[in-house]
């Protein structure tokens, strides 16, 4: 497949506990903003991809493309539901881009929506882990534990300290103070992170993203059709990889619990397509998947921002904070924005679009022309990486 | 009858759980005057089945894993009234499917009867297992008088110990009287029918410490009774536990009278001709973890009552399909690259080659590769430690840890996999492997 696509409209709801908004309300709000920026009406959309990871947490909304047709009054439109764990949003964008390049449609809409707070937080994904799924494998694990085992292994391999993890939370919460769409906008200290409730050793509550409602959407067209849209952002390269099943990494004798092969593979593909030779130098701003603090440290290494085992130093040196050489999660990341699962990958792309447009407000990275998003799913076995340019 | 040339005892093992509850701590929590004694109890995830498994697994280890032909298991506290206890145990022990099995229940004599059948006419080698998870009403004076334990005895030819002059007397008199003086008299009367000639010591089992003492007094033979004093009365497992205690303490050439007073009498003369292989009874007594918090004890016993509301998904069809992986703990071995995989699946995840049907048993000892302590998972004794374990000889598995404090868990910790309760999905106990310190 040749050619490239561009984003000509992006939208994102505030992330938070939207007790007054339904799944379809959230989907509609994000899509209207994205379509509005592109000067389009809903029925201009040629095809759409609707990303929702866990419809069973709510009232089954998001199980099928039907729920987007209803939310936007699309009439008749080919809408595909996308589900790939926490990388659902990224996968929705990838499918939209591929359909444009295949000539299936001329205007594609990629949407991510997750309505988690129709239940108390612990009744959502923790409950899913405890009450459903395989009756024996991984029973006792939560999402936090899934990644905490990487932190413990890194403590042994690289001398990772508890405070190194907390530094990610401190940085991203500080960034979120300038992001009006973030779920939590309050700065935290290392001491507060360490003193917060234990979740999965060594992770505590402030090492974990909250349970959040939200939706995000982007409108895409082929590069040659994008010229008339002044705010367009080019999708320079997308990489996507799925490397194993859900239980496999924890039963794989060769798995090192240091990084994610899927991320390295997705990054390799995206960098090759976008012509990124040295990501630490060529990328100006990055949105990475910090569902837990440990994940940002791993992401920085898997994406090539630093060498293996060097991410704690990278953050300690201030490289990845706003004002540093390569700001990571300048809007606060998942830790502060929250993680409406299907929406997250699309939210990241929305945020980088705003950065490249120079419209990121207090979170703006001055002069950013090349941005990256990284979205992972499952036990890190699903990974999406995109490189966006002006 | 003379069974000198008949079957003998090849190996024995006891599973004595580490947790200890003192009567004084019960009394303090319930505002009563303190009483003497203590009991042992299994963690919240132990029941008669898991205790039976632990004892049987150890016994087979001691014996060098011979091919068991009969499996007889007994308890009065099976977690389900109707369930394939012996068959599930046989599968988890990775015995051949043609093993002859029997589950005994509902009688304190079950363990003794299983041993009698094994010595008298079962296909050999025969593995006899008895286990109990005993409860008395909370706050009751007798709460610390009963105990949890598992015991296993392997019967075959050419063993280190024999039971001779087995004497049996069946009586219908009920033992559920509250009149201790009456019961003491019954125990003393019954034990006087035991073949005591030539014995210089005795190992007496009766349903309660005062009854056992009365019987021992009547005989006038010295003996130890650590099983009763420090573990508590273990129901159908108790006579076998007393027998194992006697074997571990016996000197060759010194016959011991072994007697079980329950539903009548079973008694025999124990001859130990060689050193008992293993000291699992003594070691189990040695390894004690006192639990002084009465609430922690109660939580361990009541957890599944409160947890029953959580409907964990269970599928007997899936369990049947994956039994070889889940319960026998066999791994798929890739014909192309040699990798061992604990998970079922149509192809090798490493090289993508179709797997075929070849399976190899995984070893149940290994080393912790990484771990975490989960604080948000419902459990009576938080947190739940989850460990990625590299098994000796190859293969990796993710399992919860048990019987270990979080502070003691580290990368490189040596562990052994045991079967424990994982949850009560479908309203029945669901068992899976857990890692305990080796």
B373 contact A CB<8A: yes
Lowest mean pLDDT among A103-112, A330-339, B221-230: B221-230
Q: Which chain B residues in 260-319 lie under 8 Å from chain A, judged by CB atoms?
A: 310-315, 318-319
Residues A8-22, mean pLDDT to the nearest whole number: 97
Q: How many CB atoms lie within 10 A of CB A127?
A: 16
Could A140 and B377 be called an inter-chain contact, meaning their C-beta atoms sit closer than 8 Å?
A: yes
Residue in the block written with tokens 């890194």: A154
| CA A75 – CA A72 distance, rounded (Å) | 9
Residues A232-240, mean pLDDT to the nearest whole number: 98
Which among B13, B100, B87 has a CA at the least distance from the CA of B49? Answer: B87
A95 touches A87 (CB < 8 A): no
For testing contact with chain B, the best of A126, A138, A208, A250 (most B CBs within 10 A): A250
Q: How many CB atoms lie within 10 A of CB A322?
A: 20
pLDDT at B274 (0 to 100)? 82
- Which of A12, A86, A300, A306 is catalytic? The answer is A86
Q: Which chain A residues in 144-163 lie under 8 Å from chain B, judged by CB atoms?
A: 144-145, 148-150, 152-153, 156
pLDDT of A114 strictly over 80: yes
Could A201 and B383 be called an inter-chain contact, meaning their C-beta atoms sit closer than 8 Å?
A: yes
A132 contact B CB<8A: yes
Tokens in use for B147?
Answer: 């105990």
Residues of B with CB below 8 A from A153's CB? 369-370, 411
| CA B219 – CA B38 distance, rounded (Å) | 26
Residues of A with CB below 8 A from B313's CB? 131-133, 135
For testing contact with chain A, the best of B372, B380, B396 (most A CBs within 10 A): B372
| CA B438 – CA B433 distance, rounded (Å) | 14
Q: Is A100 exposed, middle or buried (0-12, 13-18, 19+ CB in 10 A)?
A: buried
pLDDT at A281 (0 to 100)? 97
Lowest mean pLDDT among A17-21, A119-123, B106-110, B147-151: A119-123
| Weakly modelled stretches of chain B, pLDDT under 50 | 1-3
B76 touches B103 (CB < 8 A): no
pLDDT at B330 (0 to 100)? 95
**Among A131, A136, A141, whose Cβ lies nearest the Cβ of B310?**
A131
A197 contact B CB<8A: yes
Residues of B with CB below 8 A from A159's CB? none
Which residues, other chains included, contact B170 with Cβ-Cβ below 8 Å and sequence gap of 6+?
B263, B264
B100 touches B335 (CB < 8 A): no
Which residue of chain A has the CA closest to B312? A131
The answer to whether residue A173 is catalytic is no
B351 contact A CB<8A: no
Which among B393, B438, B392, B431 has a CA at the least distance from the CA of B413? Answer: B438
| CA A76 – CA A47 distance, rounded (Å) | 10
State the DSSP code for B327. T
State the first-to-last Cα distance of chain B, in angstroms, to the nearest integer: 42
Q: How many CB atoms lie within 10 A of CB B361?
A: 13
Tokens in use for A271?
Answer: 């960098």
pLDDT at B1 (0 to 100)? 38
Q: Cα dist. A271→A88, A324, B215 in Å?
A: 21, 22, 84
Confidence band of A2 (pLDDT split at 50, 70, 90):
low
Residues of B with CB below 8 A from A248's CB? 343, 349
Tokens in use for B69?
Answer: 């032909």
**Among A139, A142, A203, whose Cβ lies nearest the Cβ of B422?**
A139
| CA B395 – CA A96 distance, rounded (Å) | 41
A65 touches A25 (CB < 8 A): no
State the first-to-last Cα distance of chain A, in angstroms, to the nearest integer: 22
- Which of A289, A339, A350, A363 is catalytic? The answer is A339
Which among B41, B432, B27 has a CA at the least distance from the CA of A141? Answer: B432
pLDDT at B3 (0 to 100)? 44
Which among B247, B205, B251 has a CA at the least distance from the CA of B229? Answer: B205
Comparison of pLDDT for B436 and A123, the residue scoring more: B436
Percent of chain A with pLDDT over 70: 99
Residues of B with CB below 8 A from A131's CB? 310-313
A201 contact B CB<8A: yes
CA angle B137, B142, B144 (to 5 degrees): 95
| CA A348 – CA A116 distance, rounded (Å) | 19
Which residues, other chains included, contact A174 with Cβ-Cβ below 8 Å and sequence gap of 6+?
A187, A321
pTM of the model: 0.95
For testing contact with chain B, the best of A128, A145, A257 (most B CBs within 10 A): A145
pLDDT of A106 strictly over 80: yes
**Among A197, A199, A247, whose Cβ lies nearest the Cβ of B343?**
A247
| CA B190 – CA B267 distance, rounded (Å) | 10
pLDDT at B309 (0 to 100)? 52
A328 touches A320 (CB < 8 A): yes
A196 contact B CB<8A: no
pLDDT of A340 strictly over 90: yes
pLDDT of A128 strictly over 80: no
Which residues, other chains included, contact B174 with Cβ-Cβ below 8 Å and sequence gap of 6+?
none
B56 touches B74 (CB < 8 A): no
For testing contact with chain B, the best of A124, A127, A140, A245 (most B CBs within 10 A): A140
Residue in the block written with tokens 């070849």: B358
């Amino acid at each position: 497949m040749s050619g490239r696509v561009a984003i000509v409209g992006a939208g994102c709801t505030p992330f938070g506990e939207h007790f007054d908004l339904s799944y379809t309300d959230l989907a509609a709000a994000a899509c209207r903003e994205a379509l509005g920026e592109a000067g389009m009406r809903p029925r201009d959309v040629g095809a759409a991809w609707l990303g929702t990871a866990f419809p069973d947490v709510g009232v089954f909304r998001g199980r099928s493309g039907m729920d987007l047709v209803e939310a936007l009054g699309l009439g008749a439109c080919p809408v595909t539901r996308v589900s790939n764990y926490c990388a659902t949003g990224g996968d929705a964008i990838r499918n939209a881009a591929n359909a444009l390049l295949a000539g299936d449609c001329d205007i594609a809409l990629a949407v991510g929506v997750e309505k988690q707070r129709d239940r108390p937080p612990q009744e959502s994904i923790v409950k899913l882990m405890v009450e459903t799924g395989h009756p024996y494998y991984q029973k006792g694990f939560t999402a936090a534990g899934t990644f905490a085992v990487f932190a413990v292994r890194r403590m042994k391999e690289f001398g990772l300290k508890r405070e190194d993890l907390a530094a990610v939370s401190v940085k991203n919460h500080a960034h979120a103070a300038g992001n009006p769409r973030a779920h939590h906008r309050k700065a935290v200290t290392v001491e507060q992170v360490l003193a917060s409730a234990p979740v999965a050793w060594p992770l505590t509550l402030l090492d974990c993203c909250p349970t959040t409602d939200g939706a995000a959407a982007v409108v895409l067209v082929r590069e040659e059709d994008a010229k008339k849209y002044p705010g367009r952002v080019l999708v320079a390269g997308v990489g996507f990889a799925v490397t194993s099943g859900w239980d496999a990494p924890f039963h794989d004798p060769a798995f090192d619990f240091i990084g994610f092969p899927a991320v390295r593979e997705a990054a390799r593909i995206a960098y090759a397509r976008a012509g990124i030779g040295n990501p630490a130098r060529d990328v100006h701003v990055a949105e990475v998947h910090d569902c837990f603090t440990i994940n940002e440290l791993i992401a920085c290494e898997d994406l090539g921002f630093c060498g293996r085992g060097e991410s704690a130093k990278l953050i300690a040196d201030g490289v990845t904070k706003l004002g540093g050489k390569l700001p990571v999660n300048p809007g606060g990341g998942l830790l502060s924005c929250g993680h409406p699962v299907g929406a997250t990958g699309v939210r990241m792309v929305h945020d980088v679009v705003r950065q490249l447009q120079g419209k990121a407000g207090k979170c703006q990275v001055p002069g950013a022309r090349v941005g990256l998003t990284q979205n992972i799913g499952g036990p890190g076995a699903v990974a999406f990486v995109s490189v966006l340019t002006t | 009858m003379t069974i000198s040339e008949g079957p003998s005892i090849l190996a024995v093992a006891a599973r004595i759980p580490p947790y200890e509850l003192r009567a004084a701590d019960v009394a303090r929590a319930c505002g009563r005057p303190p009483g003497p004694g203590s009991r042992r109890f299994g963690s919240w995830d132990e029941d008669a089945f898991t205790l039976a498994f632990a004892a049987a697994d150890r016994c087979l280890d001691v014996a060098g894993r011979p091919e068991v032909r009969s499996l007889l298991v007994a308890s009065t506290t099976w977690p389900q009234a109707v369930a394939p206890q012996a068959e599930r145990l046989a599968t988890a022990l990775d015995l051949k499917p043609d093993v002859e099995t029997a589950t005994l229940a509902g009688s304190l004599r079950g363990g003794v009867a299983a041993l009698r059948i094994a010595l008298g006419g079962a296909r050999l080698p025969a593995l006899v297992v008895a286990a109990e998870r005993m409860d008395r009403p909370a706050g009751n004076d007798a709460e610390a008088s009963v105990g949890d334990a598992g015991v296993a005895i392997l019967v075959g030819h050419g063993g280190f110990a024999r039971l001779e002059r087995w004497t049996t007397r069946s009586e219908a008199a009920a033992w559920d009287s509250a009149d201790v003086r009456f019961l003491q008299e019954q125990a003393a009367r019954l034990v006087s029918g035991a073949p005591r000639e030539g014995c210089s010591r005795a190992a007496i089992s009766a349903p309660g410490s005062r009854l056992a003492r009365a019987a021992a007094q009547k005989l006038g033979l010295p003996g130890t009774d650590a099983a009763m004093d420090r573990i508590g009365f273990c129901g159908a497992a108790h006579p076998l536990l007393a027998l194992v205690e006697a074997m571990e303490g016996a000197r060759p050439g010194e016959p011991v009278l072994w007697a079980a007073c329950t539903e009548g009498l079973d008694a025999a003369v124990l001859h130990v001709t060689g050193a008992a292989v293993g000291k699992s009874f003594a070691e189990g007594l040695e390894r004690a973890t006192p639990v002084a918090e009465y609430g922690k004890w109660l939580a361990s016993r009541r957890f599944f009552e409160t947890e029953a509301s959580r409907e964990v998904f269970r599928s007997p069809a899936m369990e049947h399909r994956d039994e070889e992986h889940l319960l026998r703990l066999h791994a798929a071995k890739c014909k192309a690259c040699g990798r061992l995989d604990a998970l079922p699946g149509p192809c090798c995840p490493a090289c993508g080659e179709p797997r075929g049907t070849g399976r190899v048993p995984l070893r149940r000892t290994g080393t912790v590769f990484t771990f975490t302590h989960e604080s948000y998972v419902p459990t009576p004794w938080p947190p739940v430690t989850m460990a990625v374990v590299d098994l000796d000889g190859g293969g990796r598995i993710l399992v919860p840890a048990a019987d270990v404090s979080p502070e003691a868990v580290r990368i490189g910790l040596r562990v052994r996999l045991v079967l424990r309760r994982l949850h009560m999905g479908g309203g029945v106990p669901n068992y899976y492997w857990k890692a305990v310190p080796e």
